[in-house]
Amino acid sequence: MVTGLQFSAAATFGSNVGTYAITPFGASATNYALAYAPGTLTINSAALTITANSATKIYGAALPSFTASYAGLVNGDTSSVVTGLQFNTTATAAANVGSFAITPFGALATNYTIGYVPGTLTINPAALTIAADSKSKAFGAANPALTASYTGLVNGDTAAVVSGLTLNSTATTASAVGSYPITAAGATADNYAIAFTPGTLAVGQNS
C-alpha cells in the first residue's frame, strides 16, 4: 500500500493560460523503491462574451460613442484586461430613422477566448416645427397665399421633404375686420416628428 502521496504544481487559482508540471512526492510503500514521473496541468482560456450596448441618436446627429458589457471575466479581472475593442455600424450621421446593428470586433485579452454579441443603434426622428406664417389683408380682399416656415430641418434637407401640408384660415373675403387663425396640418416627412404652430390672418380696414 502506498501512503503519503502528495502533489505540487507551480499553478495557482489565478495562473495564466498555459501548461504547468504536476509533481508527485512524499509517497512511501513497504517493499518498493519509488520513482516519480510528473504530469501536466493545462489551463485553458476562459470564455468571455463582449456585448455591444444598444444606443440611440436623433436623425442628423453625430454617431454616439459606443460601449460594451462583459460576461465571463474571472479572478477579479475587469474590462481593463481587454484591448483593441472596436465597433462597426452601417449607420452614419445622415442615416435614416431605423435600427442598425452595432458590431464589436478586434478585442484581445490574455487568458480569454472572446465571443461577440451585437447591439442595436436606434435612430429616432428629429423634431420639425412647421409654423404657419402670419398674413394680413384688407377687408373685402381675397385671402393672400398662405405659406409656412420650417424649423428643425437637418442633413441639408429642405421643405421638399415635407408632403401633404395644408394651410387654412377661417377668414373669407367677407370676414369682418379682426384676427383669424391660420392652421397648418396634414404634413408628413420621413425622419421627422412634426409639430404645428398656427399663424394669424389680420383683416384690416380699407384705407
Q: Which residues contact 9 (CB under 8 A, 6 or more apart)?
A: 20, 21, 22, 23, 41
- Give the pLDDT band (50/70/90) at residue 206: confident
User: To which H or E segment does residue 116 belong?
Assistant: strand 112-117
- Give the pLDDT band (50/70/90) at residue 207: low
User: Which carries the bigger pLDDT value, residue 13 or residue 47?
Assistant: 47
pLDDT for the residue numbered 18: 94
pLDDT at 205 over 90: no
pLDDT of 15-30, one tens digit each?
899 999 999 999 999 9
Q: Would you state the cell numbers that stand for residue 38, as one nine-digit string?
A: 510528473
Task: Specify the pTM.
Answer: 0.82
Per the prediction, the chain carries an average pLDDT of 96
- All domains in the chain, ordered by first residue: 2-43 (no CATH), 46-124 (3.10.430), 126-204 (2.60.40)
User: Which carries the bigger pLDDT value, residue 86 or residue 207?
Assistant: 86
Taking CA atoms, 106 is separated from 18, 54, 84, 119, in Å, by 23, 18, 6, 16
Residue whose C-alpha is closest to residue 61's, from 109, 99, 97? 97
CB of 23 closer than 8 Å to CB of 40: no
CA distance 64 to 128: 21
pLDDT for the residue numbered 139: 94
pLDDT of 95-153, one tens digit each?
999 999 999 999 999 999 999 999 999 999 999 999 999 999 999 999 999 999 999 99
pLDDT for the residue numbered 10: 87
Residue whose C-alpha is closest to residue 192's, from 125, 129, 133? 125
What would the mean pLDDT of 175-203 be, rounded to a whole number? 97
Beta strands 192-197 and 126-132: pairing type? parallel
What would the mean pLDDT of 35-42 be, rounded to a whole number? 95
Among the ranges given (7-21, 86-100, 114-128, 189-203), the one the predictor scored with the smallest mean pLDDT: 7-21
Residue whose C-alpha is closest to residue 132's, from 174, 71, 180? 180
pLDDT for the residue numbered 5: 95
Taking CA atoms, 34 is separated from 1, 8, 23, 40, 59, in Å, by 12, 17, 14, 20, 77
